[in-house]
Structures are given as structure tokens and as C-alpha cells.
Amino acid sequence: MREIRKWLTQAEEDLKAAKDSLKDEHYDWVCFQAQQSAEKALKFFLYSRGYTSIITHSLKELVRECKKLEKDFSKIESYARYLDMFYIPTRYPNGLAGDLAPAEFYEEEDAEKCINYAESILESVKKLSKK
């Protein structure tokens, strides 16, 4: 179980890193770190329920799998879908249309929304893992 628990620990640390990046106004990294926090939290849930191999990075796909085990995950599905949009374009200059690099493109509003959604996913995972 310790091996599985590391996924939740890292999800919490990624969320903390996102909040630290917010203070430093690195909004592109906030969005990516929030996505990573949610991904690791959802993978924790699935691993804790017996999954042994999870290939995808799509939060929406992960939530779909979680819903097969616990229907209450439907409450965070829209958050997962939103955070999916920050997996690649926050890190790669060719991930966005136009002339702006990710560091120039993302704004505080994006970052705060990503943190809020990641927190909701993390809290849902913790709550639903106890069932």
C-alpha cells in the first residue's frame, strides 16, 4: 500500500508546488502542476482499487474509469476535462497558436481556476477513497 500511497503524496506536493508557482507568477507552471496533481490523485484512486497499469494522462479518461467504481466522480468530470487542456500547451512553445510562449500566454485567472479544480479533484479522491 505504501507504493500506492506515494501517488497521493505526490499529488499533494504537486498542488503545493502549483501554489508556490502562483506566488511567483509562473502561471503556465501553475496550470501544468495543477493538472499533474489531479492526474496523480486519480491514479492513486485507481491503483488503490486494484488497477495495475494506467497508461493515459487524460484526466477525463481517468475520471471515466473512476466512475465505474464510484459514481460520485461524475461531480468532478468537468474539472478533469478542463485541466486536460493544460497538459501540453503549458510546456511547449509550439503547443499554442500565435506568437506567445506559454510563459507569456497564461494569466493569473487561468492559474487560480486550475488550482481550484485540482483541489476539488484531490479532495474528492480523498473522500471517495474512504468509502
pLDDT at position 130 over 90: no
pLDDT at position 124 over 80: yes
Percent of the chain with pLDDT over 70: 100
pLDDT of 110: 98
Question: How does residue 71 score in pLDDT terms, banded at 50, 70 and 90?
Answer: very high
Q: Which of 127, 113, 116 is nearest to 44 (CA)?
A: 127
CATH tag, 2-129: 1.20.120.330
- Residue 94 C-alpha cell reads as 509550439
How do the domains of the chain map onto residue ranges? Answer: 2-129
Q: Are 115 and 19 in contact (CB under 8 A)?
A: yes
Q: Are 86 and 60 in contact (CB under 8 A)?
A: no
| Mean pLDDT across 33-50 | 98
pLDDT tens digits along 13-40: 999 999 999 999 999 999 999 999 999 9
DSSP label at residue 75: G
Is pTM beyond 0.85? Reply is yes
pLDDT at position 2 over 90: no
Helix (H, G, I), strand (E, B) or coil at 98: coil
Question: How does residue 1 score in pLDDT terms, banded at 50, 70 and 90?
Answer: confident
Q: Are 123 and 115 in contact (CB under 8 A)?
A: no
Question: How does residue 131 score in pLDDT terms, banded at 50, 70 and 90?
Answer: confident
pLDDT tens digits along 79-98: 999 999 999 999 999 999 99
